[in-house]
């Protein structure tokens, strides 16, 4: 069953008991050889907007997919009416293997993890320098989720017209993460979009961050209006009259084949699912020092071999400090 990919086995309907009232289980499934390939652009109450060739098509999940949910960024196979005409609904019969997954839980005790975006190459962690205040804990958590999910991080610091970036740059400098600082004025002149764009070409970049930091403002500056119109931005008006994004939406960049994914603001980024051994991969300068670690070392415990290794001068102690800060972010509560 090669075409189902290895990521499907956790949800595979064949491994679950037959539910009452459904047909007897069978291994004979339609081949769907005529299925079209598409990409999920947005999901709204079980309706998925997919890009197939140059058309946006409304689709729903076929029953045979079981519990497995398609998310923004997923590559899917579709059958049925693929015309994209009004009142038509195609069916998604297959979700292709994902190259990356950005996951979060509502909080650290929440066993229910959701995939925010599939197949993104890069995670743009957007933080305002003021209004709302930067929250390093949230940034750290997004970084860990990026490293864990196989996404390259990019820091975007907005609203430099309201406060300088110095303190944050000090905190993140040792992580050697690329960053961009933008202001209201640079948004208006187009400089902000241009400088962010330099990091996006040819990639799928998901924008995440607290509500109100300016994700949608940036995405709108990056994506020409006619391209935004195809799917329509999903917005709601908050109590204070501000527009807030309510579902993730993938939009194509002009020129290169890059994509940006705008996402709703988050208050927290639960990391219940994180595996520390995947986080260390994001620190290639430290990774060789872990060969003498005890088995299943968290790299944040007394027997960890990294202390000795760094003391011998193999790597910058500030890097180890940064790694530990990220690993510890799982144990601490957010907001401090
Ligand atoms: N002063 C200043 N305001 C900005 C800047 N960028 C965005 N804003 C404002 O910040 C507010 C929030 O911007 P949005 O783009 O809606 O923020 P968001 O991150 O998409 O918020 P959610 O969708 O709720 O997650 C808007 O009023 C923007 O005009 C900036 O560089 N400087
Ligand atoms: Mg928004
Ligand atoms: Zn260790």
Q: What is the pLDDT of residue 218?
A: 95
Distance between CA 224 and CA 222 in Å, rounded?
7
Q: Whose CA is closest to atom 28 on ligand 1? A: 214
Q: Whose CA is closest to atom 9 on ligand 1? A: 214
* Residue percentage of the chain with pLDDT more than 70: 83
Cβ of 91 less than 6 Å from ligand 1: no
- Closest listed ligand to the CA of 124: 1
Q: Which residues of 94-115 are buried (b: 16+ CB within 10 A; e: fewer)?
A: bbbebebbbbbbeebeeeebeb
Q: Is the separation of the CB atoms in 234 and 245 below 8 Å?
A: yes
- State the pairing for strand pair 122-128/152-158: parallel
Distance between CA 215 and CA 265 in Å, rounded?
8
Sign of CA dihedral 215, 95, 37, 75: positive
Report domain extents, the chain. 36-95, 101-262, 276-328
Q: What is the pLDDT of residue 1?
A: 34
Distance between CA 211 and CA 196 in Å, rounded?
19
Which residue numbers in the chain have pLDDT < 50? 1-21, 23, 232-233, 334-336
Q: What is the pLDDT of residue 205?
A: 98
Cβ of 211 less than 6 Å from ligand 1: yes
When the candidates are 2.40.50.140, 1.20.1300.10, 3.40.309.10, 3.30.300.30, the CATH number that belongs to 36-95 is 2.40.50.140
Q: Which CATH architecture has domain 101-262?
A: 3-Layer(aba) Sandwich (3.40)
Cβ of 263 less than 6 Å from ligand 1: no
Q: What is the pLDDT of residue 13?
A: 37
Cβ of 254 less than 6 Å from ligand 1: no
Q: What is the pLDDT of residue 9?
A: 37
pLDDT (tens digit per residue) in 159-199:
999 999 999 998 887 778 899 999 999 999 999 999 999 99
> Which helix (H) or strand (E) is 318 found in, with range?
helix 317-328
For residue 106, how far is its CA from the centre of ligand 3 (angstroms)? Answer: 28
Cβ of 247 less than 6 Å from ligand 1: no
Closest CA to 251 of 190, 209, 193: 193
Distance between CA 82 and CA 50 in Å, rounded?
10
Q: What is the pLDDT of residue 236?
A: 56
As a whole number of Å, the CA-based R_g of the chain is: 22
For residue 13, how far is its CA from the centre of ligand 3 (angstroms)? Answer: 38
pLDDT (tens digit per residue) in 245-273:
888 999 999 776 799 999 999 888 887 77
Pocket test for ligand 1, best of 163, 187, 192, 214 (most atoms within 8 A of CB): 214
Q: Which atom of ligand 1 is nearest to the CA of 246?
A: 23
């Amino acid at each position: 069953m090669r075409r189902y990919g290895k990521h499907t086995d956790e949800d595979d309907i064949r491994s679950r008991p037959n539910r009452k009232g459904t047909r007897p289980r069978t291994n004979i499934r339609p081949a769907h050889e005529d299925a079209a390939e598409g990409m999920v652009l947005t999901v709204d109450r079980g309706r998925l907007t997919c890009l197939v060739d140059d058309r946006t098509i409304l689709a729903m999940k076929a029953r045979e997919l079981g519990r497995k949910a398609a998310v923004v960024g997923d590559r899917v196979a579709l059958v049925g009416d693929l015309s994209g005409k009004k009142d038509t609904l195609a069916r998604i019969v297959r979700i292709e293997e994902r190259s990356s997954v950005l996951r979060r839980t509502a909080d650290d005790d929440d066993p229910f993890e959701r995939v925010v975006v599939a197949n993104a190459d890069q995670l743009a962690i957007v933080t305002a320098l003021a209004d709302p205040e930067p929250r390093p804990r949230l940034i750290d958590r997004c970084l860990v989720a990026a490293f864990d999910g196989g996404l390259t991080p990019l820091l975007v610091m907005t609203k430099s017209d309201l406060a300088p970036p110095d303190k944050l740059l000090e905190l993140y400098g040792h992580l050697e993460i690329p960053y961009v600082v933008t202001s209201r004025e640079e948004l208006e002149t187009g400089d902000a979009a241009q400088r962010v764009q330099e990091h996006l070409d040819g990639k799928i970049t998901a924008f995440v961050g607290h509500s109100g930091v300016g994700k949608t403002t940036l995405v709108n500056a990056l994506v020409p209006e006619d391209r935004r119109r195809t799917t329509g931005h999903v917005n709601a008006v908050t109590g204070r009259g501000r527009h807030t994004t309510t579902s993730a939406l993938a939009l194509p960049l002009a020129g290169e084949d890059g994509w940006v994914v705008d996402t709703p603001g988050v208050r927290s980024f639960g990391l219940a699912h994180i595996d520390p051994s995947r986080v260390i991969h994001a620190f290639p300068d430290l990774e060789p020092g872990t060969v003498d670690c005890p088995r299943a070392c968290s790299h944040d415990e007394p027997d960890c071999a990294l202390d000795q290794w760094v003391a011998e001068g193999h790597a910058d102690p500030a890097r180890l400090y940064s790694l530990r800060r990220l690993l510890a972010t799982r144990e601490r509560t957010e907001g401090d």
